[in-house]
Amino acid sequence: MVTPPKTIEVQNLRLAYGPKEVIHGISFDVRRHEILGVIGPAQSGKTSLLRCINRTIEFTPGVHLQGAVRVDGEDVQKVRDVFALRRKIGMVAPLPVGLPLTIYDNVAFAPRCSGMRSRSELDGLVEQCLRQAALWDEVKDRLKTLGTKLSGGQQQRLTIARALSHQPEILCLDEFSIAIDPVTTMRIEEVLKELRKEMTIILVTNLVQQARRLADRTMFLWNGEIVELDRSDVVFSEQPRDRRTYEYVNGIFG
């Protein structure tokens, strides 16, 4: 079986907030069209890792970064057009953050900022993204309604549609299901299974069974270090490579 090419390569990444180092020299890769699950206790560096990949980490004062993060072979710290980088790497936060705009304008916002002006093109893209986020059938007759009027689960799917609107090659999800019900969570999981055909997905999740259901490979991150990174069937087996992995995924600690 041919191994897919690498989309993301992380080499000896160290991250500190002021004097406190939170990621301690980790190295790994993410392959094209895979879902990489990232699990671990709180304060393990999971969110910080995502923010290093799309360079939103630089919004935090006092950050010190060493090592390299490469996307398609290019060091993200040396990218001149950071806005293009962030369009390439979509990000979905734990809590839905809707813009104070209509449902339509929430999705059309980024394409308009990128110069798309054709109404027919915008209409097509808005519908495509809402369909990809499994939201179109619920909102197609009320696209002029404020996005903030939607339910929590619908707002999270709207956030995903907005992340997809700049047609990213990589989608990073940071505990997307933390504030939504199990039924909506399962709907979004089905969406992600379809999206992996088109893009690479990094899924940070506090639900270990979610990683087990979705991820091709799973990384167990603990205190800023990689304890284990392997196929999900190995990580969630009775005999992973590291005993701490077994104890964490089985709720013995964490």
Residues 124-141 pLDDT 10s:
999 999 998 889 999 999
pLDDT at residue number 177:
84
Residues 177, 185: Cα–Cα separation, whole Å: 6
pLDDT at residue number 2:
60
Domain covering 6-249, topology: Rossmann fold (3.40.50)
Residues 244, 226: Cα–Cα separation, whole Å: 11
pLDDT at residue number 119:
92
Residues 23, 16: Cα–Cα separation, whole Å: 7
Q: Sheet of 20-31: strands edge to edge? A: 20-31, 6-17, 63-71, 74-75
DSSP tag of 170: E
pLDDT at 98 over 90: no
pLDDT band of 23, cuts 50, 70, 90: very high
146, 101 contact by CB (below 8 A):
yes
Domain extents in the chain: 6-249
- Report CA-CA distances (Å) from 168 to 202, 210, 251: 13, 23, 35
pTM score of the predicted model? 0.90
Query: In the predicted model, what is the mean pLDDT of residues 103-122?
Result: 90
